[in-house]
């Protein structure tokens, strides 16, 4: 269940040292008061599943929640009804996936963070009036985390104070001094983080710190008298995932794994599909033994590349389908999703960049048979559209504007394909009213479509050209090979001009 929650004053990302001095709005605010007197003696409970006892004053007779991250999303993991003594238990016969969790108020405000490891039987005592003094008994992981968090909160407060002083500094000497102090505090923060990693290497806190951190960018080296300017980039790329193994389900239970993953693909991986495929294949292969992380990554990459941002990246989706879904990972899908992904994959297979375009034998506007491969031209622009589609009614005339202004001069031929044989009158009327002249207008008859189906052909025109939305455009070269698709009309125009200029040596 996804839900909207307010954050705490010191989020887990802050404590880990990511966001140094940025407070979050909407957090449950902790007031400094005397710490409560609590019974810290843990209760003996079952070792099966999870059982996390909690006393959370002053709440009484209300439901509170245990939440966690699932990548960038926040989800509810459990709930409990507090009694008149502010006591409750988060419990189930099933274990929680280890990771970072947070206690959520009845009004969905995040109150404080905690860690859940494999030992899921411990006790929490807290009061909303002093959330900085939460007591967790029976969890060594939370002991490490609390000590580290306390140090980070102290340094964070000091950094805030130095920022305030810097803004009010009246001379250069004071500004320089404050800047030096600020940098020293940031250095201390880094040293604290590295200290946990070094001294508590097996702890969950160290694990999450390793997931969170990025490599320091090295200086540009001089090799044979020349500066190697690309070395820092490749160094960071090659060390971006040091100490992170992609089959660890705990990665999902953090707020910083998925953003780091997105950053990596955006800044360190080429947009070329083969480069993306190499990374995706590695991550999914390693993640395969992870119960939660594997389906998460599989569907994240599938959703991203089934409708990619850049032309040609649908090749990544096809790779995922052929190497994972087609080899048995469809068990993760329901029947409708399995059919949808399979159909989409088969639709894409015939229309990848560089392949010969599938043959089209259609009826023109006078109901004479025409063939795509009989159209001789340096370039053929193929437009699949529906005369009842509102977006088509805007885009098709825009194609004509580019055709008349530029493309006809580049000897481009346009094949306009009506995919809705039930609307022939509307189709012909639209062509006439918008003066779509100089094009080849065509459609597939209902009889021809039915004959294809009866003949057992595995794909229709919609499938052959992946026409899952209208309009859909393709650009073919003189040999009818696909050289561009899934672009805006402006991008097709730029592509045509650049390609023509290259051919002419301009």
The encoded tokens of residue 453 equal 């189906």
For helices 335-349 and 314-323, the axis angle rounded to 10 degrees is: 120
Residue with tokens 């102290």: 154
The DSSP bridge pattern shows strands 482-485 and 63-70 to be: unpaired
Q: What is the pLDDT of residues 51-96, one digit of tens each?
A: 999 999 999 999 999 999 999 999 999 999 999 999 999 999 999 9
- Lowest mean pLDDT, pick from 31-35, 141-145, 237-241: 31-35
Helix (H, G, I), strand (E, B) or coil at 162: helix
The DSSP bridge pattern shows strands 369-371 and 379-385 to be: unpaired
How much of the chain exceeds pLDDT 70, in percent? 90
Residue with tokens 């009004």: 107
What is the 3-class SS of 189-220, one letter each residue?
HHHHHHHHHHHCCCCHHHHHHHHHCCCCCCCC
Residue-range domains of the chain with CATH: 1-198 (no CATH), 222-349 (no CATH), 361-503 (3.40.30.10)
Sheet with 472-476: list strands edge to edge.
369-371, 361-364, 440-443, 412-418, 379-385, 472-476, 482-485
d(CA 506, CA 498): 9
Grade residue 210 by pLDDT with cuts at 50, 70 and 90.
very high
- Lowest mean pLDDT, pick from 255-269, 284-298, 324-338, 472-486: 324-338
Closest CA to 95 of 299, 249, 251, 294: 249
The DSSP bridge pattern shows strands 369-371 and 361-364 to be: antiparallel
Grade residue 450 by pLDDT with cuts at 50, 70 and 90.
confident
d(CA 50, CA 55): 16
Q: What is the DSSP letter of 29?
A: P
The partner residues of 472 in beta bridges, in order of sequence, read 384
- Lowest mean pLDDT, pick from 346-360, 401-415, 453-467: 453-467
d(CA 88, CA 78): 12
Record the pTM.
0.80
The encoded tokens of residue 59 equal 């709440």
Q: In this predicted structure, what is the pLDDT of residue 34?
A: 36
Q: What is the pLDDT of residues 298-351, one digit of tens each?
A: 999 999 999 998 999 999 999 999 999 988 877 778 888 888 898 889 888 888
């Amino acid at each position: 269940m996804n839900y909207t929650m307010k954050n705490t004053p010191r989020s887990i990302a802050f404590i880990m040292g990511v966001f140094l001095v940025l407070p979050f709005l909407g957090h449950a605010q902790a007031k400094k008061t005397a710490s409560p007197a609590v019974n810290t003696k843990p209760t003996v409970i079952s070792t099966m599943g999870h059982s996390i006892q909690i006393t959370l004053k002053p709440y009484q007779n209300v439901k509170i929640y245990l939440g966690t991250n699932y990548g960038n999303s926040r989800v509810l993991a459990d709930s409990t009804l507090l009694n008149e003594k502010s006591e409750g238990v988060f419990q189930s016969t099933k274990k929680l996936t280890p990771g970072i969790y947070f206690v959520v108020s009845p009004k969905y405000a995040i109150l404080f963070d905690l860690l859940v490891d494999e030992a899921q039987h411990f006790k929490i005592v807290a009061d909303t009036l002093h959330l900085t003094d939460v007591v967790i008994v029976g969890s060594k992981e939370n002991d490490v985390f609390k000590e580290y968090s306390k140090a980070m909160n102290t340094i964070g407060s000091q950094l805030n104070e130095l920022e305030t002083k810097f803004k009010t500094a009246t001379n250069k000497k004071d500004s320089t001094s404050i800047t030096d102090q600020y940098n020293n505090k940031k250095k201390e923060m880094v040293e604290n983080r590295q200290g946990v990693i070094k001294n508590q290497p097996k702890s969950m806190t160290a694990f999450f710190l390793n997931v969170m951190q990025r490599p320091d960018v090295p200086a540009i080296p001089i090799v044979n008298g020349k500066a190697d300017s690309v070395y820092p980039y490749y160094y960071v790329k090659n060390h971006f995932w040091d100490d992170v193994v992609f089959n660890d389900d705990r990665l999902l239970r953090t707020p910083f794994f998925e953003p780091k993953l997105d950053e990596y693909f955006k800044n360190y991986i080429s947009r070329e599909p083969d480069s993306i495929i190499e990374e995706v294949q590695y991550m999914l292969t390693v993640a395969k033994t992870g119960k939660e992380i594997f389906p998460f990554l599989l569907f994240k990459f599938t959703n991203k590349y089934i409708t990619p941002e850049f032309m040609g990246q649908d090749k990544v989706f096809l790779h995922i389908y052929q190497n994972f879904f087609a080899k048995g990972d469809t068990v993760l899908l329901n029947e409708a999703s399995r059919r949808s992904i399979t159909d989409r994959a088969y639709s894409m297979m015939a229309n990848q960049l560089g392949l010969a375009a599938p043959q089209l034998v259609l009826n023109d506007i006078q109901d004479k048979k025409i063939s795509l491969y009989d159209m001789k031209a340096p370039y053929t622009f193929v437009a699949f559209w529906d005369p009842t589609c509102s977006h088509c009614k805007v885009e098709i005339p825009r194609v004509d504007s580019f055709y008349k202004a530029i493309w006809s001069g580049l000897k481009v031929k346009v094949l306009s394909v009506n995919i809705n044989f039930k609307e022939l009158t509307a189709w012909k009327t639209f062509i006439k009213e918008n003066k779509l002249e100089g094009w080849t207008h065509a459609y597939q008859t209902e009889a021809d479509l039915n004959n294809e189906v009866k003949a057992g052909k595995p794909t229709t025109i919609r499938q052959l050209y992946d026409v899952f939305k209208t309009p859909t455009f393709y650009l073919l070269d003189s040999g009818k090979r696909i050289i561009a698709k899934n672009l805006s009309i402006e991008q097709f125009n730029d592509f045509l001009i650049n390609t023509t200029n290259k051919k002419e040596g301009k």
